[in-house]
Amino acid sequence: MNTSTYTNGHHVAVQDVETKTAYINGVAYSVQENETILSFVRRHFGNDYVPTLCDAPNLDPYGACRVCSVEVALTANGSRRVQASCHTPVIPDSYIFTDTDRIERLRKNIVELVLTDHPLDCLTCEVNNNCELQTVAARVGIRKVRYPEGKNHLDRQKDLSHAYMTSDFSKCINCSRCVRACDEVQGQLVLSMAGRGFDAHIIKGLDQTFADSDCVSCGACAQACPTSAISDIFESKSVVADKKVRTVCTYCGVGCNLEVAVVNNNIKSIQAPYDAAVNQGHTCLKGRYAFSFYNHPDRLRTPLIKRNGEFQPATWDEAYDYIAEKFTQIKQEYGPDSISGISSARCTNEENYLMQKFFRAVIGTNNIDSCARVCHSPTALGMQRSFGTGAATNSIIDLKYTDCIMVIGANPTDAHPVTGAKLKQFAMKGKPSIVIDPRRTELARYATYHLQLKPGTNVALLNMMLYYIITEGLEDKAFIQNRTEGYDGFKEQILNLNIDELEHITGVDKHLVRSAAITYASAPNAMSFHGLGVTEHSQGTFTVMLIADLAMITGNIGRRGVGVNPLRGQNNVQGAADMGCQPHQGAGYLDAYNPEINKMYSEFYGVPIPIGKGLKIPEMYDAAFAGKLKAIWLMGEDVAQTDPNTQLVVSALNKLELVVVQEIFMTETCKLADVVLPAASFLEKSGTFTNGERRIQRVQKVVEPIEGTKPDGQIMVDIMNRMGFAQPEYHPDTVLQEVSRIVPFFAGVKWNELGNNGKQWPVAPNGNGTEILHTETFKRGLGKFHFAPYKETEETKQHADKYPYIITTNRELEHYNSGTMTRRTNNVKILTEDVLLINPEDAARHFIEEGDMVCVESPRGKVDIKARITTEVKPGIMSTTFHFPELMINNITSSQHDSEALCPEYKVVAANIRKSKGKFKTQPQTV
Amino acid sequence: MSKNLSYLSGRQGLEKNLFEELGTAAAVSGTPERDVMEQLHSDFLVGKANIQGTVSFYDFLKPENKNKKVYVCNGSACEMAGTQGKLKEQLLTTFQPDEIGEMCCLGRCHENSAFNIDKKNYSGGDIEHLAEIVQDTVTTREQYHVECKGTAVLTAPITNVAEYYLLFSDVLQQGADTTLAEIKKSNVRGRGGAGFPMGFKLESCKNTPGDVKYVVCNADEGDPGAYSDRYIMEQRPHALLLGMMITGYVIDARYGVLYIRAEYPESIESVQAAINEVKALGLLGENICDSGFSFDFKIIGAQGAYICGEETALLSSIEGQRPEVRVRPPYPTQEGLFNRPTVVNNVETLACVPFIIKFGGDAYATLGSGKSTGTKLLSLDSYFNRPGIYEVEMGTPLRTAIDELGQGFRQPIKAIHIGGPLGGLVPVSKIDALTIDFESFSQNGFLLGHASFVCIPEQYPIIDYIEHLFRFTAHESCGKCFPCRLGSTRGYELIEKAKGSDYKIERTLMNDLLETLEVGSLCALGGGLPLPVKNALQYFNDELSPYFTS
The model's pLDDT over A303-328, given as tens digits with 9 standing for 90+, comes to: 999 999 999 999 999 999 999 999 99
Q: Is residue A171 part of a domain?
A: yes
How far apart (Å, rounded) are the C-alpha atoms in residues A100 and A791? 75
Taking alpha carbons only, the member of B219, B266, B276, B260 closest to residue B118 is: B266
- B52–A106 C-beta distance less than 8 A: no
In a shared domain, residues A799 and A892:
yes
Question: Side by side, which strands form the sheet with A165-168?
Answer: A158-159, A165-168, A230-232
CB-CB: which of B11, B62, B503 is closest to A430?
Answer: B11
The answer to whether A548 touches A426, Cβ cutoff 8 Å, is no
Q: Is residue A121 part of a domain?
A: no
In a shared domain, residues A437 and A506:
yes
In a shared domain, residues A156 and A279:
yes
Between positions 429 and 488 of B, the ones with CB within 8 A of A are: 474-483, 485-488
Q: How much is the pLDDT for A7? A: 37
**Best residue of B48, B310, B312 to probe chain A, by most A CBs closer than 10 Å:** B48
Has this prediction a pTM greater than 0.90? Answer: yes
The answer to whether A739 touches A350, Cβ cutoff 8 Å, is yes
- A192–B50 C-beta distance less than 8 A: yes
All domains in chain B, ordered by first residue: 2-65 (no CATH), 70-143 (3.40.30.10), 155-365 (3.40.50.11540), 462-547 (1.20.1440.230)
- Which residues fall within 8 angstroms of residue B87, CB to CB, at 6 or more apart? B72, B113, B115, B127
DSSP string computed for A185-247: II----EEEES-GGG-EEEETTTB-TTTS------HHHHH-SSSSEEETT-GGG---SEEEEE
Contacts of B11 in chain A (CB under 8 A): 430
Tell me the per-residue pLDDT of A801-842, one tens digit each, with 9 for 90 and over. 999 999 999 999 999 988 889 999 999 999 999 999 999 999
In a shared domain, residues A22 and A168:
no
Instruction: Say whether residue B33 is in contact with chain A using an 8 A CB cutoff.
Output: no
Question: At A887, is the pLDDT very low, low, confident or very high (cuts 50, 70, 90)?
Answer: confident
Q: How much is the pLDDT for A9? A: 37
Distance of CA B496 to the CA centre of its chain: 28
**Number of structural domains in chain A:** 4
Residue of B nearest to A102 (CA): B515
Q: Does the structure show a pLDDT above 80 at A924?
A: no
Instruction: Say whether residue B410 is in contact with chain A using an 8 A CB cutoff.
Output: no
Residue of A nearest to B525 (CA): A197
- Which residues fall within 8 angstroms of residue A879, CB to CB, at 6 or more apart? A438, A439, A807, A808, A809, A810, A836, A837, A872, A873
Residue B379's CB: how many other CB atoms inside 10 A?
Answer: 29
Q: Is residue A603 part of a domain?
A: no
* CATH number reported for the structural domain that contains residue A871 in this entry: 2.40.40.20
The conformation of residue A664, written as its DSSP 8-state character, comes to S
Pairing type for strands B388-393 and A805-809 reads unpaired
DSSP string computed for A585-653: B-TTS-BTT-HHHHHHHHHHHTS----SPPPPHHHHHHHHHTT---EEEEES--HHHHSSSHHHHHHHH
| Distances from the Cα of B155 to the Cα of B193, B264, B377, angstroms | 20, 19, 9
3 state DSSP class of A19? strand
Between positions 42 and 71 of B, the ones with CB within 8 A of A are: 45-53, 56-57, 62
In a shared domain, residues A95 and A162:
no
Residue A305 φ/ψ, nearest 5 degrees: -120, 130
3 state DSSP class of B165? coil
Distance from CA of A663 to the nearest CA of B (A): 41
Q: How much is the pLDDT for A819? A: 87
Q: How much is the pLDDT for A44? A: 96
Q: How much is the pLDDT for B143? A: 93
How far apart (Å, rounded) are the C-alpha atoms in residues B365 and B534? 34
Question: Can the peptide bond before residue A762 be classed as cis, meaning omega within 30 degrees of 0?
Answer: yes
Tell me the per-residue pLDDT of A414-467, one tens digit each, with 9 for 90 and over. 999 999 999 999 999 999 999 999 999 999 999 999 999 999 999 999 999 999
Contacts of B513 in chain A (CB under 8 A): 109
Taking alpha carbons only, the member of A286, A225, A219 closest to residue A256 is: A286
Distance from CA of B409 to the nearest CA of A (A): 36
Mean pLDDT of A370-383: 91
Tell me the per-residue pLDDT of B429-487, one tens digit each, with 9 for 90 and over. 999 999 999 999 999 999 999 999 999 999 999 999 999 999 999 999 999 999 999 99
The dihedral formed by the CA atoms of B197, B198, B201 and B204, expressed in degrees to the nearest 10: -100
pLDDT over 70, % of chain B? 100
Q: How much is the pLDDT for A889? A: 82
Tell me the per-residue pLDDT of B267-304, one tens digit each, with 9 for 90 and over. 999 999 999 999 999 999 999 999 999 999 999 999 99
Q: Is residue A685 part of a domain?
A: no
A657-661, A892-896, B346-350: which has the minimum mean pLDDT?
A892-896
How far apart (Å, rounded) are the C-alpha atoms in residues A411 and A437? 8
Contacts of B38 in chain A (CB under 8 A): 206
Q: How much is the pLDDT for A818? A: 84
In a shared domain, residues A391 and A524:
yes
In a shared domain, residues A431 and A552:
yes
ipTM of the complex: 0.96
- B482–A113 C-beta distance less than 8 A: yes
The answer to whether A366 touches A590, Cβ cutoff 8 Å, is no
In a shared domain, residues A95 and A164:
no
The answer to whether A757 touches A769, Cβ cutoff 8 Å, is no
Q: How much is the pLDDT for A106? A: 98
Q: Is residue A323 part of a domain?
A: no
Q: How much is the pLDDT for A886? A: 76
Tell me the per-residue pLDDT of B55-72, one tens digit each, with 9 for 90 and over. 999 999 999 999 999 999
Tell me the per-residue pLDDT of A49-65, one tens digit each, with 9 for 90 and over. 999 999 999 999 999 99
Q: Which amino acid is at A764?
A: A
Taking alpha carbons only, the member of A755, A679, A683 closest to residue A714 is: A679
Instruction: Say whether residue B513 is in contact with chain A using an 8 A CB cutoff.
Output: yes
Mean pLDDT of A252-269: 96
Contacts of B500 in chain A (CB under 8 A): none
How far apart (Å, rounded) are the C-alpha atoms in residues A837 and A853? 12
Contacts of A53 in chain B (CB under 8 A): 482
CB-CB: which of B5, B7, B53 is closest to A193?
Answer: B53
Contacts of A193 in chain B (CB under 8 A): 53, 322, 324, 479-480
Q: How much is the pLDDT for A712? A: 96
3 state DSSP class of B4? helix
Q: Is residue A347 part of a domain?
A: no
Q: How much is the pLDDT for B523? A: 95
Q: How much is the pLDDT for B292? A: 95
Instruction: Say whether residue B489 is in contact with chain A using an 8 A CB cutoff.
Output: yes
3 state DSSP class of A397? helix
Distance from CA of B138 to the nearest CA of A (A): 37
Residue B82 φ/ψ, nearest 5 degrees: 70, 25
The dihedral sign for the CA sequence A214, A218, A220, A226: positive
What distance separates the 2 farthest-apart alpha carbons in chain A? Answer: 94
pLDDT over 90, % of chain A? 89
- A147–B493 C-beta distance less than 8 A: yes
Average pLDDT over chain A, rounded to an integer: 94
Domain limits at A77? 4-99
DSSP string computed for A260-275: EEEETTEEEEEE--TT
- B52–A205 C-beta distance less than 8 A: yes
Taking alpha carbons only, the member of B374, B356, B342, B357 closest to residue B448 is: B374
Distance from CA of A421 to the nearest CA of B (A): 13
Which of A295, A330, A347 is at the close of a domain?
A295
Tell me the per-residue pLDDT of B393-416, one tens digit each, with 9 for 90 and over. 999 999 999 999 999 999 999 999
The H or E element that residue A550 is part of is helix A540-553
Q: Does the structure show a pLDDT above 90 at B234?
A: yes
CB-CB: which of B10, B327, B509 is closest to A87?
Answer: B327
- Which residues fall within 8 angstroms of residue B414, CB to CB, at 6 or more apart? B427, B428, B456, B457, B458, B460, B462, B540
Between positions 6 and 25 of B, the ones with CB within 8 A of A are: 7-8, 10-11
Which of A236, A269, A295 is at the close of a domain?
A295
Instruction: Say whether residue B499 is in contact with chain A using an 8 A CB cutoff.
Output: no
* CATH number reported for the structural domain that contains residue A198 in this entry: 3.30.70.20
* CATH number reported for the structural domain that contains residue A52 in this entry: 3.10.20.740
| Alpha helices (H) along B228-295 | 228-235, 237-251, 265-280
Tell me the per-residue pLDDT of A794-811, one tens digit each, with 9 for 90 and over. 999 999 999 999 999 999
Tell me the per-residue pLDDT of B90-118, one tens digit each, with 9 for 90 and over. 999 999 999 999 999 999 999 999 999 99
Q: Does the structure show a pLDDT above 80 at A755?
A: yes
How far apart (Å, rounded) are the C-alpha atoms in residues B473 and B450? 17
Contacts of B487 in chain A (CB under 8 A): 113
DSSP string computed for B47-105: -HHHHHHHHTTSTTTSGGGTT--EEEE--HHHHHHT-HHHHHHHHHTTS-GGGEEEES-
Distance from CA of A903 to the nearest CA of B (A): 36
- Which residues fall within 8 angstroms of residue A646, CB to CB, at 6 or more apart? A640, A861, A888, A890, A891, A893
Q: How much is the pLDDT for A884? A: 84
Instruction: Say whether residue B35 is in contact with chain A using an 8 A CB cutoff.
Output: no
Taking alpha carbons only, the member of B377, B441, B381 closest to residue B409 is: B381
Pairing type for strands B120-122 and B255-260 reads unpaired
| Alpha helices (H) along A335-484 | 349-357, 377-386, 412-415, 417-428, 442-446, 458-471, 477-483
Q: How much is the pLDDT for A927? A: 53
The dihedral formed by the CA atoms of A411, A417, A420 and A424, expressed in degrees to the nearest 10: 110
- B479–A200 C-beta distance less than 8 A: yes
The conformation of residue B295, written as its DSSP 8-state character, comes to B
**Best residue of B306, B481, B503 to probe chain A, by most A CBs closer than 10 Å:** B481
What distance separates the 2 farthest-apart alpha carbons in chain B? Answer: 74
Question: At A286, is the pLDDT very low, low, confident or very high (cuts 50, 70, 90)?
Answer: very high
Mean pLDDT of A120-124: 90
Contacts of B49 in chain A (CB under 8 A): 189-192, 194, 203-206, 213
How far apart (Å, rounded) are the C-alpha atoms in residues A557 and A392? 11
**Best residue of A101, A193, A449 to probe chain B, by most B CBs closer than 10 Å:** A193
In a shared domain, residues A264 and A384:
no
The conformation of residue B416, written as its DSSP 8-state character, comes to E
How far apart (Å, rounded) are the C-alpha atoms in residues A730 and A357? 13
Q: Is residue A107 part of a domain?
A: no
Pairing type for strands A310-313 and B435-436 reads unpaired
A34-48, A894-908, B5-19: which has the minimum mean pLDDT?
A894-908
Mean pLDDT of A745-754: 96
Q: Does the structure show a pLDDT above 80 at A301?
A: yes
Taking alpha carbons only, the member of A86, A73, A74, A83 closest to residue A35 is: A86
Taking alpha carbons only, the member of B21, B100, B103, B50 closest to residue B304 is: B103
CB-CB: which of A65, A183, A206 is closest to B2?
Answer: A183
The conformation of residue B107, written as its DSSP 8-state character, comes to S
- B34–A429 C-beta distance less than 8 A: no
Q: How much is the pLDDT for A888? A: 78
The dihedral formed by the CA atoms of A777, A779, A781 and A787, expressed in degrees to the nearest 10: -110
Contacts of A107 in chain B (CB under 8 A): none
The dihedral formed by the CA atoms of B194, B199, B200 and B204, expressed in degrees to the nearest 10: 120
Q: Which amino acid is at A803?
A: Y
In a shared domain, residues A286 and A387:
no
Which of A539, A566, A593 is at the close of a domain?
A566
CB-CB: which of A102, A110, A205 is closest to B48?
Answer: A205
A152-161, long-range: CB < 8 A, 24+ apart: A152/A116, A152/A117, A153/A117, A153/A201, A154/A117, A154/A118, A154/A119, A156/A201, A159/A204, A159/A209, A159/A210, A161/A209, A161/A210, A161/A211, A161/A212
How far apart (Å, rounded) are the C-alpha atoms in residues A500 and A295? 57
The answer to whether B373 touches B367, Cβ cutoff 8 Å, is yes
How far apart (Å, rounded) are the C-alpha atoms in residues B108 and A806? 68
In a shared domain, residues A549 and A403:
yes
Q: Is residue A314 part of a domain?
A: no
Q: How much is the pLDDT for B184? A: 97
Q: How much is the pLDDT for A644? A: 86
How far apart (Å, rounded) are the C-alpha atoms in residues A461 and A469? 13
Between positions 307 and 326 of B, the ones with CB within 8 A of A are: 307, 322, 324
CB-CB: which of B52, B482, B512 is closest to A207?
Answer: B52
In a shared domain, residues A525 and A383:
yes
Q: How much is the pLDDT for A18? A: 58
